[in-house]
């Protein structure tokens, strides 16, 4: 599919993140206005709450966009999702009849504040990238025992904290925790010295379920995708994770990009998961291509310094798709809710420059990363900003997600004195 022309000229740039082909959904506020639902187009955002109030957009069971989150639209189902995209596309397409009514509802993206675009019901994060699992396993268990025995059969995951999910631009405070190094006789309580990121995609569940669903049914339940940064305190994680896995190491924050790219916008970019050494049981097998060809990168910017792109990879590297993860999540009868968030797991490629975490890029701190302008990093230092970016490349257009960024600020001097 080629670029769909819009009367919003900035949306027709081949390098623009938000062409008419995309129409990602967010929540924004212009000045002192209340946050409201909007859709990004070029370098502007269309106020959809106002468009619905004016009768420019009409959805069954509406109004659905009179609240500052997208959960009500999600719960309305796929026919409403498609209807919304179709109506907004008609309003913004080249030659649209109602341009003069729409124009006053457009606001420059550069001048608005962006908010978390949906209410996160629950959050599950996975460990579903083979290259990441091999790298981490090799570091700590040796190459011969790198993959856990169950890894080839199921998407391994853990339940995270929905309460710690934040939108891009939110500062992340370095956490305190209990750590025990190899030379420490006993554990100690200290700020994390090995704070890290994980480059991930997040899938947003739009439809609830009450029992097991197939992979195809799970795919139909997914509303859209965001970029996701799973902040990880590696030293806290190393001490706590046996036998039940990550806990406090992953509870500091999870940062999301501010725009939900609806699944419909990604349809032209579907790809199959990579070939497997071990066939999956039938209930987890792909009925068709379930991953997406999305180019991803990680940048690190010290305070006052230049930005360095430290990794480039692609979502197609994952061994399990979001649909397979969601289907597996339901096998025991676990109900899923509209607004549930599934983290893909770290997206790493096969080469050093395509690794999706500093743990891998610096090989557990043994091979520091060189930064533009001088300096090196093993792990994140105070006042570093980490930025995740991604886009799917089409014929003369891109489907972008917007930056997923966070700045790490120093740990509290006294966590219990709140200093």
- φ, ψ for residue 68, nearest 5 deg: -90, 50
Q: Which two tokens stand for residue 311?
A: 């990794």
Bond preceding residue 61 cis, omega within 30 of 0 = no
Among 132, 328, 329, 391, the one annotated catalytic: 132
From CA 147, how far away is CA 281, in angstroms rounded?
A: 18
Q: How many CA atoms lie within 13 A of 81 on its CB side?
A: 22
Cα dist from 255 to 88, 189, 259, whole Å: 28, 25, 12
Q: Which two tokens stand for residue 228?
A: 């996701």
Alpha carbon of residue 233 to chain centroid = 19
132 is catalytic: yes
From CA 66, how far away is CA 46, in angstroms rounded?
A: 14
Give me the residue label for tokens 């490349």. Answer: 393
From CA 158, how far away is CA 176, in angstroms rounded?
A: 21
Question: 334: exposed, middle or buried (C-beta count within 10 Å: 0-12, 13-18, 19+)?
Answer: middle
From CA 82, how far away is CA 296, in angstroms rounded?
A: 27
Asked whether 391 and 384 are in contact (CB, 8 A), the reply is no
What is the widest separation between alpha-carbon atoms in the chain? 74
- Which residues are catalytic, by number? 132
């Amino acid at each position: 599919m080629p670029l769909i022309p819009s009367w919003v000229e900035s949306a027709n740039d081949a390098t623009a993140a938000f062409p008419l082909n995309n129409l990602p959904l967010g929540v924004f506020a212009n000045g002192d206005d209340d946050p409201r639902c909007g859709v990004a187009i070029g370098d502007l955002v269309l106020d959809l709450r106002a468009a619905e109030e004016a009768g420019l957009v009409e959805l069954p069971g509406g109004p659905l966009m009179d609240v500052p989150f997208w959960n009500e639209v999600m719960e309305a189902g796929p026919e409403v999702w498609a209807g919304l995209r179709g109506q907004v596309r008609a309003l913004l397409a080249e030659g649209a009849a109602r341009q003069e009514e729409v124009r006053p509802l457009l606001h420059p993206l550069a001048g608005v504040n962006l908010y978390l675009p949906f209410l996160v019901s629950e959050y599950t994060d996975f460990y579903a990238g083979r290259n990441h699992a091999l790298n981490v396993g090799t570091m700590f268990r040796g190459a011969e025992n790198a993959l856990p025995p169950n890894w080839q059969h199921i998407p391994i995951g853990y339940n995270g904290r929905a309460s710690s999910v934040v939108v891009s631009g939110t500062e992340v405070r370095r956490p305190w925790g209990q750590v025990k190094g190899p030379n420490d006789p006993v554990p100690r309580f200290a700020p994390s010295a090995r704070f890290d990121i994980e480059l991930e995609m997040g899938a947003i569940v739009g439809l609830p379920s009450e029992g097991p669903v197939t992979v195809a049914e799970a795919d139909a339940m997914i509303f859209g995708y965001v970029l996701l940064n799973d902040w990880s305190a590696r030293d806290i994680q190393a001490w706590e994770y046996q036998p039940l896995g990550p806990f406090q190491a992953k509870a500091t924050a999870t940062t999301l990009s501010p725009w939900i790219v609806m699944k419909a916008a990604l349809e032209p970019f579907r790809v199959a998961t990579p070939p497997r050494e071990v066939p999956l049981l039938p209930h987890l097998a792909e009925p068709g291509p379930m991953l997406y060809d999305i180019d991803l990168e990680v940048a690190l910017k010290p305070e006052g310094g230049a930005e360095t792109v430290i990794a480039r990879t692609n979502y197609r590297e994952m061994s399990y798709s979001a649909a397979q993860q969601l289907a597996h999540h339901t096998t025991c009868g676990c109900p899923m809710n509209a607004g549930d968030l599934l983290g893909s797991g770290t997206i790493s490629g096969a080469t050093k420059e395509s690794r999706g975490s500093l743990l891998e890029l610096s090989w557990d701190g043994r091979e520091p990363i060189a930064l533009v302008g001088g300096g090196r990093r093993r792990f994140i230092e105070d006042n570093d900003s980490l930025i995740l970016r991604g886009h799917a490349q089409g014929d003369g257009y891109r489907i972008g997600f917007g930056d997923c960024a966070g700045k790490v600020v120093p740990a509290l001097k006294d966590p219990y004195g709140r200093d």
